[in-house]
């Protein structure tokens, strides 16, 4: 019997998932609660505590020796969630401290993409890698950069905001107040913006015209059915992503770039154009050396495993 | 008397400078030879050996316990110079190995910007820093990224090519075969390209018109004399540099960015617009946190000290 267990918690905009993990990266107990509808973070932490204790039982619970939390805009150094646009509490939330005080177990916190990168490094596609980039293509675009075998947190704990690197100077308005950020093009919501733009501009016939509200899943299905406009939308998205990744590669020279999250589920429809434009835009010394690969972890498990590994 | 000394060598396109350094970062003996006119790298290393031995004398020479070399396109992992455009020998040059075999002293090599970053971290403006970016604005633009207190070499040893991040999509032709690279705008040669472009396009009167051949030093002097076109050229250069640094900051979240090299000598003419556009383009969480500062090391010493510290 493994004595020491770790608790990993992945706080998203809709749900907070948790898992109790042993040292082999097996998730022994799993669950989730809604991350919405709690008046204060304290109420949220109380509910989370009850749910985890209920699922694990006291014996299991007592073997948890550390807690790791992945959360959007999570800061490793402070343990705070700071100004996260997709979380219902505003401002600075000292989540690690609140959890530590309630659970009485040492707690670390980082942003969700860093947690996923950590999970990938411990148990997934980056198992033997010391230099890689993890890119999450979800509602937004997040990233975790690993160099010399360590996550780059940066001076203030906010490193890895690849989603807010400017991919198109003067381009689409971003929720951050700036223009042309990568996530306005290559997130699951960004690609839907492209779809509406293309439907407006292009004269091509498309099955997408009949949809009332387009989702990134619709685009994937249309592409699978050979819809040319959908294929063009993926091509455009891959071009922007490939270009921006080529610039990021020139900074940290990674062994691989791992794509993860909703949009990465579109498989070769997104991977093929991304890799193509990535290679086209790479500086010569990096060409044909850096693979763009999918995550090897289950979507919901990566951040839990990574957070547990903090 | 310090027993152990280190030899730092900075190989540039014109000269190779060297210094014998003690553990306090004092350069005890200094010198240089031309890096041009040697038929083979072996001939170059032989001449370097003679010059260093001649300057130091046998007693001093015998106290050298390690050698570090900074060189353009130098690879830390292989010890090779690989396809350097400004070096007269083509292809892959195993310089660290050649030096080690001639001097019979363990030798490490990295690129010149990484060496300068190391020098800055050991003895200069980044003394207490664990996360910073060193940017050299010389004939080209080089960079060294430090995260978690360590230089990022990347998987294959070629990390930190900020000069070849695309600053202007589809912009100026670069020596690397691509378009719009940062160094085509913000190197000492890039700013001269801007000067010629602006002289062509703008109707403004300028003292630069009378010059037969413009250098970056001429631009600095014209700016000092209040030449409006020269000031506009610095402003434009600072805008491109500031924008690109804002994106780089979103990746590694540095404490500071250190500017170094010929163009950085222009002082506030380049620092002021760079910092201004940097702040304007930063994601909110980084604003007013990251200083853009000059190197504290003598231009010629930084790479020697850094190389010695390898």
In the structure encoding, which two tokens stand for residue B159, read together?
A: 């990390």
Residue B164 with chain A: CB contacts under 8 Å: 250, 283
pLDDT at residue A72, rounded to an integer: 85
pLDDT at residue B133, rounded to an integer: 98
Out of B131, B159, B165, closest to residue A155 by CB:
B131
Which residue ranges in chain B fall short of pLDDT 70? Answer: 1-2, 85-86
CA of B2 vs chain A CAs: smallest distance (Å)? 32
Residue B162 with chain A: CB contacts under 8 Å: 250-251
Residue A169 with chain B: CB contacts under 8 Å: 168-169, 243
Residue A139, pLDDT > 90, answer no
CB-based contact (8 Å) between B83 and chain A? Answer: yes
Sorting pLDDT into bands at 50, 70 and 90, what band is A2? low
CA of A256 vs chain B CAs: smallest distance (Å)? 9
In the structure encoding, which two tokens stand for residue A79, read together?
A: 């343990």
CB-based contact (8 Å) between B77 and chain A? Answer: no
C-alpha B200/C-alpha B188 separation (Å) is 19
Compute the CA torsion angle A72, A75, A81, A87 (nearest 10 deg). -10
Q: How many CB atoms lie within 10 A of CB A264?
A: 22
C-alpha B99/C-alpha B68 separation (Å) is 10
What is chain A's mean pLDDT, rounded? 93
C-alpha closest to that of A251 among B8, B287, B236, B250 = B250
Residue-range domains of chain B with CATH: 5-119+301-308 (3.30.420.40), 128-294 (3.30.420.40)
Residue of B nearest to A251 (CA): B160
Contact B253 A159 (CB under 8 A): yes
Contact B251 A252 (CB under 8 A): yes
Contact B251 A159 (CB under 8 A): yes
pLDDT at residue B1, rounded to an integer: 52
Residue A129 with chain B: CB contacts under 8 Å: 155
In the structure encoding, which two tokens stand for residue A286, read together?
A: 């990096």
Residue of A nearest to B251 (CA): A160
pLDDT in tens, A62-85: 999 999 999 988 999 999 998 776
Residue B155 with chain A: CB contacts under 8 Å: 129-132, 253-255, 289-290
pLDDT in tens, A189-243: 999 999 999 999 978 889 999 998 999 999 999 999 999 999 999 999 999 999 9
Q: Looking up tokens 């790298």, which residue turns up?
A: B41
Contact B252 A152 (CB under 8 A): yes
Residue B145 with chain A: CB contacts under 8 Å: 147, 251-252
Q: How many CB atoms lie within 10 A of CB A179?
A: 15
pLDDT in tens, A19-53: 999 988 899 999 999 988 898 999 999 999 999 99
pLDDT at residue B270, rounded to an integer: 98
In the structure encoding, which two tokens stand for residue A260, read together?
A: 């993860």
CB-based contact (8 Å) between A202 and chain B? Answer: no
Contact A154 B147 (CB under 8 A): yes
CB-based contact (8 Å) between A148 and chain B? Answer: yes
> CA–CA distance from A279 to each of A289, B39, B212, B285 (Å)?
9, 35, 41, 32
In the structure encoding, which two tokens stand for residue B224, read together?
A: 């000092």
pLDDT at residue A69, rounded to an integer: 95
Residue B147 with chain A: CB contacts under 8 Å: 145, 147-148, 150, 152, 154, 159
Restricting to A residues 213-272, those with a Cβ less than 8 Å away from any Cβ of B are 243, 246-248, 250-255
Contact B251 A255 (CB under 8 A): no
Restricting to B residues 87-106, those with a Cβ less than 8 Å away from any Cβ of A are none
Query: Which residue intervals of A20-94 are DSSP H helices?
Result: 41-62
Buried b (16+ CB within 10 A) or exposed e, A184-198: bbbbbbbbbebbeeb
Out of A129, A130, A154, closest to residue B131 by CB:
A154
CB-based contact (8 Å) between B154 and chain A? Answer: yes
Size of interface A-B (CB pairs under 8 A): 150
CB-based contact (8 Å) between B160 and chain A? Answer: yes
pLDDT at residue A27, rounded to an integer: 93
Q: What is the DSSP letter of A181?
A: B
> CA–CA distance from A310 to each of A93, A111, B39 (Å)?
19, 11, 54
Sorting pLDDT into bands at 50, 70 and 90, what band is A1? low
Out of A145, A153, A251, closest to residue B160 by CB:
A251
Out of B150, B156, B253, closest to residue A148 by CB:
B150
Does residue B96 sit in helix, strand or coil? helix
Contact between A137 and A262 (Cβ < 8 Å): yes
Contact B252 A164 (CB under 8 A): no
pLDDT at residue A32, rounded to an integer: 94
Percent of chain A with pLDDT over 90: 78
Contact A166 B247 (CB under 8 A): yes
Residue A251 with chain B: CB contacts under 8 Å: 145, 152, 159-162, 165, 248, 251-252
């Amino acid at each position: 019997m493994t004595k020491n267990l770790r608790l990993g918690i992945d706080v998203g905009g809709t749900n907070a998932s948790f898992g109790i993990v042993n040292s082999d990266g097996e998730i022994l107990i799993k669950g989730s609660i809604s991350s919405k509808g709690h008046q204060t973070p304290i109420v949220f932490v109380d509910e989370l505590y009850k749910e985890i204790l209920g699922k694990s039982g006291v014996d299991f619970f007592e073997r948890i020796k550390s807690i790791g939390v992945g959360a959007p805009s999570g800061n490793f150094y402070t343990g705070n969630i700071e100004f996260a646009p997709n979380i219902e509490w505003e401002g600075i939330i000292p989540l690690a401290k609140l959890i530590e005080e309630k659970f009485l177990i040492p707690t670390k916190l980082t942003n969700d993409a860093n947690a996923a990168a950590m999970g990938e490094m411990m148990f997934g596609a980056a198992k033997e890698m010391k230099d890689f980039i993890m890119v999450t293509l979800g509602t937004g675009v997040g990233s975790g950069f690993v160099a010399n075998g360590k996550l780059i947190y940066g001076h203030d704990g906010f490193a890895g905001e690849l989603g807010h690197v400017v991919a198109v100077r003067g381009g689409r308005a971003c929720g951050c107040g700036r223009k042309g950020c990568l996530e306005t093009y290559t997130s699951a919501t960004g690609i839907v913006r492209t779809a509406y733009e293309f439907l407006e501009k292009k004269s091509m016939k498309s099955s997408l015209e009949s949809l009332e509200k387009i989702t990134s899943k619709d685009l994937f299905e249309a592409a699978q059915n050979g819809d040319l406009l959908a294929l063009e939308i993926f091509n455009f998205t891959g071009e922007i992503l490939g270009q921006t990744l080529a610039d990021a590669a020139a900074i940290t020279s990674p062994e691989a770039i791992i794509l993860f999250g909703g949009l990465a589920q579109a498989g070769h429809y997104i991977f093929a154009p991304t890799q193509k434009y990535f290679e086209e835009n790479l500086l010569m010394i990096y060409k044909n050396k850096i693979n763009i690969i999918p995550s090897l972890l289950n979507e919901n498990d990566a951040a839990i495993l990574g957070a547990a590994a903090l």
